[in-house]
Structure 1
Amino acid sequence: MSGNGDKHQDDTILVVEDEPKIARLVSDYLTGSGFHPHHLEHGDEVIPWLEAQRPSLVLLDLMLPGTDGLTLCRQIRERWPTLPVIMLTARVEEVDRLLGLELGADDYICKPFSPREVVARIKAVLRRSRILSGQGGAEGAGSALVLDDDGWRALADGHDLGLTAVEFQLLKVMMNAPGRIFSRDQLMDHMYRDHRIVSERTVDSHIKKLRKKIGDVWPEREIIRSVYGVGYKYQPEE
Structure 2
Amino acid sequence: MQERVLIVEDEASIRQFIIINLKRNNFEVAEAYSGEEALEKVRSFRPQVVVLDIMLPGIDGFTVCQRLREEWPTVAIIMLTARGQDMDKVMGLELGADDYLVKPFNPLELVARIRSILRRVQIGHQEEKSEIIRAPFRLEMRSQRLFKNDQPIDLTPREFSLLKMFLEKNNQALSRDTILDLVWGEDYVGDTKTVDVHIRRLREKIEDNPSEPYYLETVWGYGYRWREGESFAGH
Q: Do the aligned partners of residues 180 and 59 (structure 1) sit closer, same or farther apart at CA in structure 2, a change above 3 Å counting?
A: same
Q: Does 1:177 align with 2:184?
A: yes
- For 1:78, the aligned partner's letter is E
- For 1:38, the aligned partner's letter is A
Using the size of structure 2 for normalisation, the TM-score is: 0.63
Number of positions where the alignment pairs a residue of Structure 1 with one of Structure 2:
185
Stretches of structure 2 that go unaligned for 5 or more consecutive residues are 133-140, 149-158, 202-218, 229-235
Which has the higher mean CA deviation after the structures are superposed, 147-156 or 25-34? 147-156
- For 1:107, the aligned partner's letter is D
Is contact 2:32-2:38 (8 Å) kept?
yes
Q: Give the Cα separation in 1 of the matches to 2:95 and 2:175.
A: 17
- For 1:64, the aligned partner's letter is L
1:119 deviates by 0.7
Q: Greater RCO between the two (CA within 8 Å, min separation 6)?
A: 2
Q: Give the Cα separation in 1 of the matches to 2:145 and 2:172.
A: 11
Stretches of structure 1 that go unaligned for 5 or more consecutive residues are 1-8, 194-200, 214-238
Using the size of structure 1 for normalisation, the TM-score is: 0.63
Q: Does 1:45 align with 2:45?
A: no
- For 1:82, the aligned partner's letter is T
SS where residue 184 of structure 2 aligns?
coil
1:112 deviates by 0.4
SS where residue 116 of structure 1 aligns?
helix
Residue in 1 aligned with 2:53?
A: 61
Q: Give the Cα separation in 2 of the matches to 1:187 and 1:157.
A: 16
User: RMSD across aligned C-alpha pairs, in angstroms?
Assistant: 3.9
Q: Give the Cα separation in 1 of the matches to 2:172 and 2:145.
A: 11
- For 1:81, the aligned partner's letter is P
Q: Give the Cα separation in 2 of the matches to 1:159 and 1:49.
A: 36
Q: Do the aligned partners of residues 46 and 112 (structure 1) sit closer, same or farther apart at CA in structure 2, a change above 3 Å counting?
A: same
- For 1:104, the aligned partner's letter is G
Q: Give the Cα separation in 2 of the matches to 1:38 and 1:124.
A: 20
Q: Does 1:206 align with 2:223?
A: yes
Counting only pairs closer than 5 Å after superposition, residues 141-220 of structure 1 correspond to structure 2 as: 141=128, 154-155=163-164, 159=168, 161-162=170-171, 177-178=184-185, 179-182=187-190, 186=193, 190=197, 202-203=220-221, 205-206=222-223
Is contact 2:4-2:49 (8 Å) kept?
yes
Q: Does 1:79 align with 2:96?
A: no
Q: Do the aligned partners of residues 157 and 37 (structure 1) sit closer, same or farther apart at CA in structure 2, a change above 3 Å counting?
A: same
1:11 deviates by 1.4
Is contact 1:88-1:108 (8 Å) kept?
yes
Q: Give the Cα separation in 1 of the matches to 2:69 and 2:88.
A: 17
1:187 deviates by 6.5
Cα shift readout 1:100-147 (whole Å, capped 9, x = no counterpart) = 111111110110000111111110011122334x2xx3xx547xx989
